[in-house]
Structures are given as C-alpha cells and as structure tokens.
Chains A and B, each alone.
Chain A
Amino acid sequence: MKTTRREFAIGTAASAAASAFSFPCPAIAQTEPIRIGWLAALTGASSAPAIGFDRGVRYAAETINATGGVKGRKIEVTTRDTQGDPTKAVNATQEMISQLKVHAVWGPTNSGESLAITPIMARAKMPNIHPCVIDSLIDPEKFPNAFRTSPSNTQWNDAVRTYCIKVLKVKKVAVIADTTGYGVAAAKYSTEALKKDGADVVYVANIDATQPDMTPDMLRAKNAGAEAIVVWSTSTGMDARMFNTRATMRWDVAFVGHPSMSSGEIKSLLEKPANWEKVYAVGYRSCSYDANGKLPPRNEEFVAQLKGKVELSDTLLWWVAGGVDAINLIAKAVENGSTSPDDIIKYWNSVKKFPGYFGDYTWSPTEHNGYPGDDVVMSDASSAKNGAFKLAPGYS
C-alpha cells in the first residue's frame, strides 16, 4: 500500500496528539522529584549565613531522600550562588521560574536581594520562604506567596528594647548605628520605639563603619549619661572598636543589639578577651544554652544528630536549623497536598506551631511572619559553643 505525504503528516500529528493527551500525566507528576530552588549568597560579602543555611539544606534533603522521599518523590535542590548581588538574584529567580520550573524557592538570605526578587516571585505565584528581616518583605495582600521563617526587624527591635528597659532596667540609652541604609533606618526606628516605651534616648549617632577611632562617639554617649548602648550595625570591625574603646575608657556600660556583635570574627579584633563581656546580642531561645549549659530538648537531640555530619564550630546553629526547617516545610506542604503552587501556599497558610528546629512557625492567610516573637531573646555575645550561645542574664 502506498502512503502519501499527506497521510504520513496526518498520522504523525495524530500520534503526537495521542501522546500529549492520552498518556497518564499524573503518574509522571507523582514520580518526578520535588524541585526546590535555593537562592544562596554562598560567596562574597554576607556569605556566612548562606553557608550555614546550606549545610542545613543539604542535611535535610539527604535525610528525607534516605528515608524514601516524600510520597516516593525525591527532593532535588537546585542552588544558585547569588553572591549577595540583587541582579544575580533576579537572574537566578527568572531561571528557576521559567527554565528549571521549580516547585518552591527557599531564599534569598539577605534583604537587599529579597527586595529585588519578591515582586517577581509574586507575579509568578511561586511559593517562597525566606529568612530576611526587613518588615516590608512580608505583605500577604501584595505577596501572598511569600512567607518568613526568621524574625522581622521589628521583632529584633522589640527584644532589644524589652531587654534594656525590663531586664537591665536602664532609663538612659544611647543608640549607635552605622551609616548604611539599614543602620540609619534601624537607628531611627529603635530611637522612636525606645522613647515610646518611656526610655530616655540621650544620644543617637550613625558612624561610618571604617572610622578608626570610636572615642568621640563613646565619649559623647558617656557624657550624656547613657546606661546602655543599643547597637545596630553589621560591621564586626565597628563593634570590636567600640568594645575596645569602652575598655580604654574604663566604662562598664552594656552593649545590646545586632547579632553581628556575637560574630566569631570579633574575637581576633579585641585587645583583650574581657572587652567582649557585658555585650548582649540578639539570639533565639531555641538555639541558646540555659544556666545548665543545655539547649532545649528538641535541639539537644538535633545537635546530637548533626555530630560528625554537619560542622557547627564555624557557623551558627540557627542558620543550620533554619536551612533544615525550610526544606522540611516544603516537604510537609507536598506531603499534605501536591507540588502545585496553590497547594503549597494553602498548606503554609494553615501551619500552626510547626515544630521546627529554629522555631515553632505559625502562619495564616493574613500573617506571613511565622517566627514566635517571644523566642527572640538576648544572648551573651562571647559565649559561642557549637554555634549556640548562653542566654543573657535575666532569662530563665
């Protein structure tokens, strides 16, 4: 029998249509891996948190896959190093949405990048969880797909303010921040909130983080009668210089503020280890040692599980725990529904006290800040052990 070109073309089109519409697609969908995009600033400035988070991400994905995955589906994490650059983060986000077709995105890990990519994710309705602190990144109306796993700036501020006024019981406070956009905004907000709560803000300054001598500002704060200094800066150099200057001035004022004051980098910049005493940095109850040197039971067990598998000595426990929680939150959403964006977002909107290692997360359709504010505490900045800190004096 002779086959004409027209018959061949019609036959080919028919079989193509049959393969497209008749084969059981759901079967493929239920065996394909769960694709998670991970936007991580693994190199460049501000890479330390992402390196810690990444250890948690890998550990969680390996653990889930080793036990058979989620409903038989493996977790597949695709990482893109954004180098802390918003432009690179935008490119990586576009790639994840249009080419890699990931089911959910974890990250980025700093607010500058997140400000750039959050509207893009929202337009694509991409389920996104991130640990960035800037308040405006979370808005369930504008960004119904975006959920925060870390505290917001406001929660950090609340913890610092409460510690100064209620625990240290100081009346006169100085607020010192760096000259970055973050530092200026944080100092302004912190000053207003302290005043609102009845504290007397006797001195406010924004200092260039490269300023070699901190004596002028410290002297002004002392002369103004400050009983505690609230610090908002990510610069460890500026922190260390202030601690050294305080010692030179023989002034025993307490420093309370940004988590960078507990960074391991500070140790080598101090003239004496004692200069790091009476420094209280923002920390988390889940990753803090109590008076007996014990973590909360869940994390005591978690650290034991990580031993020999994940290095904790050069990072922070909350970063690793946050990475594990992110993967577990996505896996749980798929387990309770599917990999469709609507199902993932619907699950996250219904989460109540999800038992994570970093915290117990609660989200709702109108509140996407998931971290419990009461768990933001102050830590003794110089007490790092396995990436966790002692609770600052005054907590039980």
Chain B
Amino acid sequence: MLASIIASGLAVGAVYALIGVTYNTMFSASRVMSFTAGQLGMLGGVFGSLFVLRLGLPLVVGLVLMLVCCAIVGLITEFIAVRPVLKSLDQHLYVLSTLALALMIQQVVAVEWSTEPQAFPRVFGTGAGGILDEKFWLPVLTCAVTICALELLYRRTLTGLSFLAIAEDNFAARALGLPERNLRMASYALAGMIGGLAGFSGGQLLLAFVANGPLLNFYGFVPVALGGLGNNRGAIVGGFALGLFQQAANFLVGGIFSSVAVFMLFIAVLLAAPRGLFGGHLARRV
C-alpha cells in the first residue's frame, strides 16, 4: 500500500507541480493569475493523443507538435485574455477574461474532440501495470527535467535574466530598455509548453480527457497558494506534498473524503501562513 501511495502520489503531485509552475510563469510576467493553466494541462494530453494515436505520427513529432500548439494557446491567452486587462489589474478583470477563455477552450475540446476519456500512447512501454510503470515515473522525470531546464534558463541565459527582471520590477525593466511585451509573450508561450508537458507526461494516468481541465485548474492552483505566489520552488514542494497527501487520504479515508481532506489542509495552511509556506513577507511602504 505504501508503495502505491508513493508511486501514484508522486506522479499526480508532479503534474500538479508543473501546473503550479505554469501559473507562476504566467503570473511572473504579467501579475495575472491565468485560469487557463489547467486547460493547458488538459490540452497536452489531448494533443498528444490526437497527434500520436489518432493521426499516427511518431512520438517525438507528436511531442514537438503538442509543444508548439500549447505555446500558441499560451500566446492566444496573452493576446485575448491578459493584454486587454493589464491596465486595470487592480479591478481583477483578468479573473473573468481568463476564466472565459478557459471555458471556451473546454467547450471547443468537448465538441471537437470528445466528452469521453480517450487513450494516451505509451511512451517507453516499460513496467506495464506495476508501481514501476512509466505512467508513475514519467511525470516525476518530466517535472525534474523541466525544473532543471528552467533553472538553467533563468540563471544562465540573458533571456532568462530578462524574464526575472520583468518579474522583479516591470517598470524598471522597461526603463532599462527591455522589450517587456515581447518577454511577456515569450513567458506565456513558455507557460503553454510547461502546461502541455504536464498533461503529456501525465497522459497515461489522467488520459486525454476534457474534464481534466477544471481538475488541473484547481489542484494546480493549490500548490501555488501553498508554496507562495510566483515561487516555483514552493509550487514544486506544494505539488508533491499535495499529491502524496491526496493519495494517502484516498487509501486511508476513501475517494469522496480525500477531497475534503485536501480542502481542510489547504485552509489550515493558509490560516497559518496566508502568503504560502514559501511566500516572502509583504513589505509595506510607510
């Protein structure tokens, strides 16, 4: 039982963590919590299944096409749902605009793809059925690789440092001549790819299913809130902790109560640390 809790807990936790990173990547570039993050995860699974199983393309080609499509969806999010409301961030209109776009994505997928879960291709074909099955370790591996790649991007490249600059202080970055709009668009494209990778790597576990959108939207947001908004390390730790806690609750108290247990933990953590476990202290100008 413990092995099952750890295997599936880490796997779903990795997917939640990647969706949390997707939220953060979009937030850092625009100060907007975009509720399309979960839909990007859902699209990763749907595009993967579409390109590889339905169209019969090689896996690598399918993966690349999925990344391109999710990046485009990320760009569309920035253009349609984020850019028009940036001037009035204090009114929180982005909640409406990004939720509306998320619903549109959901409806289009339901009509054009299917309302029923569809199969997702095997990637390596290892460990059929057991706890060593690739469906358990692939999301964890993908999460680790993505985090390493993001660290390299943010710490070792000029583009990455520019991302950090606009995340740190948008106005100062612009004053220094950084192309803020282009960097924001690039951030949204990057977020699209990370969200897509979450859905693709977890496809064998979650299947290519339209209902995964709202599910990932919520469970991907929990690690962000637990870990602190904009804090990727917090999102990773929060994602894995959530996955393990949820699976343990599934085993110990049953499916219907595990959601209640997750909500209770979520509320308890936020009561104890309102800015998340890894959130910084709020500086107040006096």
A44 to B106, CA, bound (A): 12
B-contact bits for A223-253, CB 8 A (1 contact / 0 none): 0000000000001110010001001100000
A244 to B207, CA, bound (A): 13
A370 to B205, CA, bound (A): 43
**CB contact under 8 A between A244 and B250, given known A45-B110, A209-B211, A237-B207:** no
A-contact bits for B83-125, CB 8 A (1 contact / 0 none): 0000000000000000000000000001100011111000000
A47 to B116, CA, bound (A): 11
A220 to B68, CA, bound (A): 43
A-contact bits for B182-207, CB 8 A (1 contact / 0 none): 00000000000000000000100111
A-contacting residues, B204-257, CB 8 Å: 205-207, 209, 211-212, 215, 247, 250-251, 254-256
Flag if A216 contacts B254 (CB, 8 Å). Answer: yes
Residues of B within 8 A of A213 (CB): 4, 8, 12, 205, 247, 250
Q: How many cross-chain pairs have Cβ atoms below 8 Å apart between A and B?
A: 81
Residues of A within 8 A of B1 (CB): 219
**CB contact under 8 A between A268 and B115, given known A208-B255, A216-B251, A248-B129:** no
B157 in the interface (beta carbon within 8 A): no
A-contact bits for B148-160, CB 8 A (1 contact / 0 none): 0000000000000
Flag if A216 contacts B250 (CB, 8 Å). Answer: yes
Q: Is chain B's binding surface mostly helix, strand, loop or mixed? A: helix
Flag if A205 contacts B129 (CB, 8 Å). Answer: no
Name the residue of chain A whose CB is nearest to the CB of B12. A212
Residues of B within 8 A of A265 (CB): 116-118
B130 in the interface (beta carbon within 8 A): yes
A268 to B188, CA, bound (A): 34
A269 to B49, CA, bound (A): 12
A212 to B205, CA, bound (A): 6
Flag if B119 contacts A269 (CB, 8 Å). Answer: yes
Flag if B129 contacts A247 (CB, 8 Å). Answer: yes
CB distance from B34 to the nearest CB of A (A): 22
A271 to B215, CA, bound (A): 24
A366 in the interface (beta carbon within 8 A): no
B126 in the interface (beta carbon within 8 A): no
B283 in the interface (beta carbon within 8 A): no
A269 to B8, CA, bound (A): 18
A244 to B205, CA, bound (A): 12
Chain B, interface residues (CB within 8 Å), range: 20 to 34
**CB contact under 8 A between A44 and B115, given known A207-B255, A216-B254, A248-B130:** yes
Residues of B within 8 A of A269 (CB): 117-119, 207
A211 in the interface (beta carbon within 8 A): yes
A253 to B162, CA, bound (A): 59
Q: Which of B53, B116, B205, B254 contacts A205 (CB 8 A)?
A: B254
Flag if A215 contacts B4 (CB, 8 Å). Answer: yes
Residues of A at the B interface (CB closer than 8 Å) are: 43-47, 179, 205-213, 215-217, 219-220, 235-237, 240, 244, 247-248, 263, 265, 268-269, 271
Can you name 11 A-B pairs with beta carbons within 8 Å? A47-B115, A208-B255, A210-B215, A212-B205, A215-B8, A216-B4, A216-B247, A219-B4, A237-B209, A263-B116, A265-B116
Residues of B at the A interface (CB closer than 8 Å) are: 1, 4, 8, 11-12, 53, 110-111, 115-119, 128-130, 202, 205-207, 209, 211-212, 215, 247, 250-251, 254-256, 259
Pairs A-B, 10 closest by C-beta atoms: A237-B117, A45-B115, A268-B119, A207-B255, A216-B250, A213-B8, A248-B129, A216-B251, A212-B205, A265-B116
Known pairs A219-B251, A248-B130; list 16 more (Cβ under 8 Å).
A179-B255, A207-B256, A208-B256, A210-B206, A210-B215, A211-B250, A212-B11, A213-B8, A237-B116, A237-B117, A237-B209, A240-B117, A248-B129, A265-B117, A269-B118, A271-B128
